[in-house]
Amino acid sequence: TSSGRSIPRRTLAAAANPRPELYAGLLTNRALAWHLEGRLDDAERMDRQALKIAEEVGAADLVGNILTNLGDIAERRGDYPVALARYGEALARIDSLRAGQHGQRAAVKTMASRVYVHEAMIHLLGKLDAAEPDSGYGARAFEWAERARSRALLDLASTAAGQSGAARMVTLAEAQGRLRSDHEALLEYSVGDSSTSLWVIRRSAWRLVHLPPRAALRSRVLALRRGLGDAQSADGERTRELTQQLYRLLVGPAEPFLEGVDRLVISPDGPLALLPFEALRVAREGSSKAPYLIERFDVRYTPSASAVALERAGRSSGAIIAVGNPSFPQSSEAGPVLAPLPNTQYELACLSRLARGGEFVELDGARATARGVLALPQLAGASILHFATHGDVNEAEPELSGLWLAPDSGSVAPSRLEVADILRLHLSADLVTLSACQTGLGRMERGEGVLGLQHAFLAAGARSTLVSLWSVDDRSTAALMDAFYSRTLGGREDRATALAKAKRKLLASSASRSPFYWAPFVLVGDPGSNGR
């Protein structure tokens, strides 16, 4: 039932002595029932009793939950200073729990299961910022949003670079200073159950904008991804409606602050990490010819503002490694039957031509094996790693997501380059391109984003990745890669500009104008400059 009275007193009494932690948990459940009934005084009294026991027995996890409940009680009463203090204490406990976990997955799970506390803090600070815009609450909310996300990536990247301790989170002022000019804007989203926060950040100013909560966004984002990922529906009426709806919800409120901006750095959160913002249409009622976002802005993505500021220690050698058109066995007895990818040979030829006599390593056909890739002496120092093959995503165990390659020597089954293999590397690549299907996907963890191939390559030291959000067409992908590399390897344009122009080139062609062909690939990380 919903009432705390349903818990028998004898059960509480029986649990009190032998299992004080269990007793404290039962008290917390009773307090929560009263909390939901609006009996805030009774709930607070019971929570404080439970807190005393939990602290005495060192139940840090339970202490964090109780402090969060006390913060919510204070917020409901309008006692915001106390609410902020309780949420802050709860978050300190979560950080200590996370630091005590062994291994990345354990730390991620600790964070993901408790990210609602960060959301509560961000929501409250956003509410206070709306009431007092010049109070600094919005900047504090941004810092909590940064602490809530991409911690695993930053910690792994610090380890790979040989730095001790957790990576430092940037302040809002530091995020402003990292932007290249006032023609560039960072859109950082923090999606919560109560509301979504959007920081529109430029070098000269910033604004905090409040958007609808997770429930109002998630279903639309997933429906749009399904529409865009199907060649038949990508340019259909329903998909066009969704592109305009999500533009109005996610970008429209930022429009007043984007005058003079032609480059966007998008830091998505939650379900927004699965969305190619370039395919959103500038909302114009009754118009089927509303322009796409990519027609106005060059776009790149980042896991967080702190990831933008992440400094990579290694320098690349300038070598290009291209892996593609693997020889897949065509018998099911040897493992999964994977379709041949003959058009990927065109991507390798394009890279070879553009290398202009520089060091170029090509693995194709039977040589394109996982063992062959990992054995390359040029791997750690290569400037560009390009994989043109099949990929797959394991949402249950993201470490098992991988790229399919030709059988290793002595094997008849396709080999795989998996996330676990990548995380053991120490790369200095300016760019890792995963010209395969759904390489930008993975397990969605609240507070950490998408854990998968792109996360692994960034953590291993790559400065940027080019990944796909749905199953791609290999012919249009070859054309996109040719246009992209022709611009960025020629030294004329950075990677974000080169990719935007490549997409516009496909958009201008009747054969590839549908967003199904040009929208799946997104650039995550540092765009470089002058071809780097």
Separation of alpha carbons 128 and 130, rounded Å? 5
Q: What pLDDT score was predicted for residue 532?
A: 42
Q: What is the pLDDT of residue 333?
A: 75
Is 158 within 8 Å of 165 (Cβ atoms)?
yes
CB atoms within 10 A of CB 354: 18
Phi and psi at residue 356, in whole multiples of 5°? 50, 50
Question: Around Cβ 424, how many Cβ atoms within 10 Å?
Answer: 10
Q: Return the ∠ at Cα 275 (arms to 273 and 277), rounded to 5°.
A: 115
The per-residue pLDDT for range 90-141, each reduced to its tens digit, is 988 877 766 554 444 444 444 444 677 888 999 999 999 999 988 899 999 9
CA distance 129 to 408: 58
pLDDT given for residue 110 in this prediction: 41
Query: Residues 6 or more apart from 225 whose CB is under 8 A from it?
Result: 274, 275, 469, 470
DSSP string, 510-528: TTT-SHHHHSSEEEEE---
Tens-digit pLDDT profile for residues 341-359: 888 888 899 899 988 888 9
* Weakly modelled stretches of the chain, pLDDT under 70: 1-18, 97-114, 150-168, 284-288, 309-315, 395-396, 398, 436-451, 490, 530-532
pLDDT at position 419, please?
Answer: 85
**pLDDT tens for each residue of 433-492:** 988 665 444 444 444 444 578 888 888 889 999 988 887 787 888 899 999 999 998 677
Which segments of 150-272 does DSSP mark as H helices, in order?
151-160, 172-178, 214-228, 237-250
| Whole-prediction pTM | 0.86
Question: Of 174, 88, 93, nearest to 125 (Cα)?
Answer: 88
Pair 388, 436: CB distance under 8 Å: yes
Quick check: 120 and 68 in contact, CB under 8 A? yes
Contact 292, 277 (CB under 8 A): no
